[in-house]
Structure 1
Amino acid sequence: MVKLYLDPGHGGSDPGAQGNGLNEKDITLDIALRIRTILLNDYENVEVRMSRTSDTAKSLSARTNEANSWGADYYLSIHCNAFNGSAQGYEDYIHSSLSDSSLTANYQNIIHAEIIKENELVDRGKKKANFHVLRESAMPALLTENGFIDNGRDAALMKNAAWRQKVAQGHANGVAKTFKLQKKPDNSGTIYKVIAGSFKSRENAEERVSYLDTKGIEAFVDSRNISGEVWYRVQAGAFSTRENAEKRLVEVKNAGIDDAFIAAEKRDSNEAGGYSIAGRTFLSPEQMNQFAKSINPNTPELGHFYLTFGQDYGIRGDIAFAQALHETNFFRFTGVVKPEQNNFCGLGATGPDNPGASFQTPSEGVLAHFQHLFAYASTEQLPDKYPLIDPRFNLVTRGSAPTWTALNGKWAVPGTNYGEAILNIYERMVEFALVKLEGILQEIRT
C-alpha cells in the first residue's frame, strides 16, 4: 500500500500568492482534491491523506509532523507561483541537500515529465530549495509550482476547471508511474439492468416501486426520453455480470412482475464512477430547497447546511441533500426515523426497535451526515473545525466507498440500488433547476 501525503499549499487566513482575482490557496486545494479523486478512483493499493480538504489554516510544522507520524511514503505539496507579472510556467523542487542521483531526484524526474505532458505551461525545469516541507519531511518530497498567478496567460488557465483537471491528471500519472500503481479493473463495459416495468405515468411507476419494496426488492424510477416521449422505467438492480442479473430477474418475476426484463447497456462515465462523494457542491441552497418543496411543501429549509458542511468537508453537498431526500422520503419521515430526531441520513436506524441516532438541532443532524460520508469517502483525519458527533464514525471501514454507488450494501443493506437511487434524485434536482432557470431566462427575454 502506497501512502501519499498530499499538501495543498496555504489556506484559511493565508491566501498564498494572489493575482488576477485569484488566491493561490483556492487553486491548490482544487487541484489537490482532483488528484486525490483520480488516485482513489482509478488505482489500487493507494492511500491519500491531505493536509487540508477545505479552506482552513495549518502550520508548516503541523503538516510535516502529520505526514511523518502517519508514515507517508511520499510528500507532494501543491503550489502556484508569483513574481512580477512577467514570469510564467511550471517548475518543481526537491530539497537542496539532495544529489541528482538520489531516490527523491529520480522521483522528481518521473513526476516532472508526466506533469509537463499535461499542463500547457512553459517548462522552467527541475529545481532545489530549502523549503520547510522538503527539509522536515521524513520521506521523499516534491513541491510543485503550477504556473504564475500574477501572469495573465497562466492565470487564465488557472481559472479553467478543465485545465486544473489536466494538471491533477499529470500529477496523478506521475505518482502512479513512480510507485508502479496498478489500475483498477475497467468498469466501462456492459451493465445489466433489471427493468421491472415501464410506464407513461410516474405515479404508476412509483406504485410499482412501492409494491416491490413490500416484497423486499429495492427499486427506483429512472426517466428516459424515447422517441420524444418521457417514459418512467422501474429499475430493480444493476449488475456487472448477466448471471447476477438473471438471479434478480427471477426474484422480480416471482413477485408477480411478468413483464420484467434485462436491459444490457454500455456504462457511461457517471455510472462507471458513480460520481465521487468528494467534490464541489454545484446546486445552491435555494435550488435544493425549491426542488424538495415541489414534492413536499413542508420540507425544512436545510439547503444552506448542506452547502456549508459540503464546503468544509470537501463533499458534494447537493448529492448528500439528495441522499437525505431518499432516506426521509422527501422529509415526510415515513420510516422508523422521526422528524424530532434530526437524523436525515438514517444513522444507526435498523428497524422499528432501533430508530437510530438523535441530534439536538437540524444543524447537528446534517453535520453528522457529512462526518459519516467523510468516513466512507476518505482515509484522512477528520477536519477539526467541528467536534465529532457522528456516533458511528469509528465503525466505518475508512475510505471503503469513494463514490456514491460504492455505498451500495454499506450504508444500506442489502442496498443493491442505494447509490443509484440517490443519483436518480440528484439528476431530477438538476433537471428541476435547469427548468426553473429556463423559465427565468424566458421572462427576461420577454
Structure 2
Amino acid sequence: MVKYNNSTSHRGHNAIVPGASGCGLKEHEVAQKIHDKFRAATKAVDATDNVGRTANDNLYNIVRKMNAVGVSFHVSHHLNAFNGTANGFEVWYYAGNTQAKKLAEEICAAVCKVTGWVNRGAKATTSLYVIRASTGSAILIEWGFVDSQKDMDIMANKMDEAVNAALEVMGYKSTSTGGNNTVAKAKYATDKGWYEVIKAGSRGYEPVFDDKERKSEKVTRFPLGTRVYFHEFIKVNGTPVARTSMGYMTANLDYVKKVK
C-alpha cells in the first residue's frame, strides 16, 4: 500500500469566517473534529487559520502554512451546503495530478462503502485556491452536506468509520478506538413558551430571519441571554425551526433552553 506523505492538514474557515451551517451545526466546528482525528494519526503539521478576518485572508494564511513545510501532501477538510436536500461525499484534486486523482477516487470509494454516503466522486479543479496555490499535492475533502439531515445523521453515527476509511487508503491507522463519535445528533425544542439564548453564534448573537428557510436575515439579533417566545415549530428539510414574533430562528437546544 502506498503511504502518502500527509505533511499538513487543516479545516477550512474559522469562527470569524465560519463557512456553511445547517442542521444546528457549523462547518468549521465539524471539520475541526475530523482534522483533529487526521492529525492524531498522521502527525501532520496543522495548517489551520484561526485569525483571518475575510475569506481571502483565511485562504492566504492556510496556504502560507501549507507551503512553509515545502513539497508535501496536504489534506483540507470541508463540508458542503446547498439546498437542504443535496447530499453526498466528494474529494477535489488538481486536474492532471494522477496521484492525487487516484487517492481521491479511492477515498471516495472507501468512505462511501463504510458509511452509505452517496459517492459524488473525485472532482478535478484548477481554481480552488488551497489546491492551486499550494506546493506539492493537495486534496480537499467535502465530508457531506452540513445542511442535509441525511448526511449529518451519517456524520453523527459514523464519523470514526469515515475518517478511518480515508486514513487507511492513505496508509495510516486512526488512533481512535472507535465507537465514540464526537458529533452528537442535534436536539430541538418542541414545546411552545419562553426560551433563552444560551449559546451565541460565531458573530456573538443568534440571527433572526424573515423566512422559515432562514435565508433572509433580519436586522433583529438575539445576543446571549435574550429571552424570546416560541409560538410554533416548523420543519424545514427535516429540521425544526422556531417561529417568534420577530421572525424565525434556531430551535436547536444547544443554542436555546426553555425558561421554567
TM-score for the superposition, normalised by structure 1: 0.35
- Which residue number corresponds to residue 435 of structure 1? none
Question: How many corresponding residue pairs?
Answer: 169
State how far apart, in whole Å, the 2-side matches of 1:36 and 1:118 are. 21
> Within the alignment, does 1:116 sit opposite 2:119 as a pair?
no
Which of 160, 166, 183 is the matching residue for 1:165?
160
State the secondary structure of the residue aligned to 1:107.
helix
- Alignment partner of 1:14 is 2:17: yes
Indicate if the aligned counterparts of 2:7 and 2:69 stay in contact, CA closer than 8 A.
no
Gaps of 5+ in 1: 41-46, 185-268, 271-279, 281-446
Shift of residue 163, structure 1, vs aligned partner: 1.7
Aligned 8 A contact 1:14 1:57 in 2: no
Identify if the C-alpha distance between structure 1 residues 69 and 81 changes in structure 2 by more than 3 Å, giving closer, same or farther.
same
Shift of 1:2: 3.1
Aligned CA distance change for structure 1 residues 90 and 7 (closer, same or farther; 3 Å): same
- The structure with the largest strand share of the pair is 2
Q: Is the 8 A contact 2:105 2:121 kept in 1?
A: no
Which amino acid in the other structure matches residue 110 of structure 2? E
Q: Counterpart of 1:122 in structure 2: which amino acid?
A: V
Q: Tell me the alpha carbon deviations over residues 8-41 of structure 1, each in whole angstroms, 9 at most, x when there is no partner.
A: 111121221111110000110001111222x24x
RCO higher in structure (CA 8 A, sep ≥6) = 2
Shift of 1:174: 2.0
Query: Shift of the alpha carbon at 1:3?
Result: 4.4
Give secondary structure in 2 for the equivalent of 1:155: helix
Select the residue among 125, 131, 136 that pairs with 1:134. 131
Distance (Å, rounded) in 1 between the aligned partners of 2:23 and 2:51: 22
Partner in structure 2 of residue 30 of structure 1? 33
Q: 1:169 to 1:57 in 2, by over 3 A?
A: farther
Structure 2: distance between partners of 1:79 and 1:140? 17
Counterpart contact for 1:67–1:137, Cα < 8 Å: yes
User: Aligned pair in 2 of structure 1 residues 3, 155: CA closer, same or farther (>3 Å)?
Assistant: closer
- Identical-residue share of aligned pairs (%): 27
Which of 1 and 2 has greater Rg?
1
1:327 aligned residue: none
For residues 81-129 of structure 1, what are the alpha-carbon distances to aligned partners after superposition, in whole Å with 9 as ceiling and x for unaligned? 111111011111112xx23x72222222233333223332111111123
The 8 Å contact of residues 115 and 174 in structure 1, kept in 2 or not, is answered as no
1:65 alignment counterpart: 64
Counterpart selection for 1:49 from 10, 28, 45: 45
User: 2:91, 2:122 within 8 Å by CA — same for their partners in 1?
Assistant: yes
d(CA) in 1 for partners of 2:108 and 2:51? 28
Query: C-alpha distance in 2, partners of 1:134/1:140?
Result: 7
- Alpha-carbon distance between aligned partners in 2 of 1:32 and 1:167, rounded to the nearest angstrom: 12
Q: Deviations over 1:315-335 (max 9, x none)?
A: xxxxxxxxxxxxxxxxxxxxx
Q: Quick check: which one's helix share is greater? A: 1
Contact (CA 8 Å) 1:7, 1:77: kept in 2 or not? yes
The offset of 1:72, in angstroms, is 4.9
Distance 1:83 1:172 in 2: 27
5+ residue gaps in structure 2? 53-57, 183-260
Q: TM-score, normalised by structure 2?
A: 0.58
Answer with 25-34 or 149-158: which moved more. 149-158
Alpha-carbon deviations, 1:267-304, whole Å to 9, x = none? xx98xxxxxxxxx9xxxxxxxxxxxxxxxxxxxxxxxx
In structure 1, what is the Cα distance between the partners aligned to 2:119 and 2:165? 14
Give 1:51 shift: 2.0
CA gap 1:51/1:78 in 2 versus in 1, 3 angstroms: same
AA in 2 matched with 1:78: H
CA distance in 2, matches of 1:77, 1:120: 22
Q: Is the Cα–Cα contact under 8 Å of residues 91 and 141 in structure 2 kept in the other structure?
A: yes
